[in-house]
Amino acid sequence: MKRTLIVLAVLLVAAALCGCAQNNNPPSSPTPTTTATTPSTGKTIIIIGDGATFPWPQINKWIDVYTKEHPNVKIEYNGGGSGKGQSDFANGVVDFAGSDPPLTKLVWDRLVNHPPAEGKDPLQFPDIIGAVVVCYNVPGVKHLRLDGPTIAEIFMGKIQYWDDPAIKTLNPGVNLPHKEIIVVHRSDASGTTDIFTTYLCLVSPEWNSTIGAGKSVNWPVDKMGRGVAGEGNPGVVNILKTTPYSICYTELSYAIKESLSVVAIKNKDGYFVLPNATTIKAAATHVSSHIAPPNAGYKENLRQLLNAPGKDSYPIVAFSHLLVWKHYSDPAKGKAVHDFIKWVLTQGQNDKYIVTGYVGLPKSLTQKLLSEAEI
């Protein structure tokens, strides 16, 4: 009996020692499942972006697909407009930004010479090709054709009624009503506005000399009482839908989503074309050589990318852009951002990930951009 008790005591001590050894060892760190997790902790990395509403549906699609494949990365994108995106990026409020127009040299120099603590050395990548379209709400009119000068005069307020001779000449046989044209435009600093007004500068010398181009402009129709402003592309579209005899400019994907009537625009070669994958690709083919390297984004000239030649080219085609830093103060954050950008420019350009209304970038262009960026 005594021998049995001794053996039992020895076993109990051994068990206790094993338990202590196990309790003193921390649990092993989980194996990182994505390239955007910190190697030691597997910590979720949060990436915040802001900017253009032009590519908002497409960016949200990419985020949805990417974060499902990379569960330890959380990405948020707020479509506050290109102007806000550029400002937030410059001030270190966000990790990346969307901007429809390429950055001006003034903005680029600020990013280079006065970067926020969060990052330095800006990079600008085109990420998707889209189209700015002119939409209208005229009951009974299903097909409408306009040329650049006529569009400029409508948005300038010089053409007041839908049955104006200039519009009737372009649309023989169409029953156009004698109703005042309500012009809907953006209220916020907008890349879509910059693209649209730059196009108007190219097709209308009067617009170019009196109004000009920019993310915000002074709309003459406002002073005439026929201008209405909406915030973001969604705001503009909502006003158009509820305002008979109105006209607006917006991004193609919004027009498709909301089943809006879209104007066929006369292109540089004299053909009336509607925006679709074929006409957008045709235009992009003619202008992609003008895309600047990522580390010299200010050299990209928006005017060179619009009103492209070619029978099938839609005239208001634009490359939207993403802004990131080459160097981030938080290395793990930087790697996560760069991995996302590289995915967008490679796998993200596959047709199955492209939202209707947009066109992916040519593979030759994305390879060139990534090589030049060295990230």
Grade residue 17 by pLDDT with cuts at 50, 70 and 90. very low
Token pair in block for residue 181: 């044209």
Q: How many CB atoms lie within 10 A of CB 286?
A: 15
User: What does the pLDDT look like over 98-144, one tens digit per residue?
Assistant: 999 899 999 999 999 999 999 999 999 999 999 999 999 999 999 99
Is residue 120 in some structural domain? Answer: yes
Residue 320 in tokens: 């939207």
Count of the separate structural domains present in the chain: 2
Among 284, 308, 333, residue at a domain's last position = 284
Domain encompassing residue 95: 46-130+318-373
**Residue range 290-305, pLDDT digits in tens:** 899 999 999 999 999 9
> What string of DSSP letters covers 111-177?
HHHS--TTEEEEEEEEEEEEEEEEEEE-TT----EE-HHHHHHHHHTS--BTT-HHHHHHSTT----
Q: What tokens appear for 200 in the block?
A: 């108007």
Mean pLDDT score of the chain:
89
**Residue bearing the bigger pLDDT, 29 or 99:** 99
Is 174 domain-assigned?
Answer: yes
**Residue after which a domain boundary falls, among 263, 284, 305:** 284
Q: Clarify whether residues 117 and 150 are in a common domain.
A: no
- Identify whether residues 220 and 348 lie together within a single domain: no
Residue 70 contacts residue 34 (beta carbons within 8 Å):
yes
Query: Which has the closest alpha carbon to 243: 222, 219, 255, 226?
Result: 226
Q: Tokens for 308?
A: 């492209």
Residues 271-295 pLDDT 10s: 999 999 999 999 998 898 889 999 9
DSSP string, 238-299: HHHHHSTTEEEEEEHHHHHHTT-EE-EEE-TTS-EE--SHHHHHHHHHHHGGGPPPGGGGGG
Domain boundary among 228, 262, 284: 284
Same domain for 170 and 266, yes or no, is: yes
pLDDT in tens, 58-102: 999 999 999 999 999 999 999 999 999 999 999 999 999 999 989
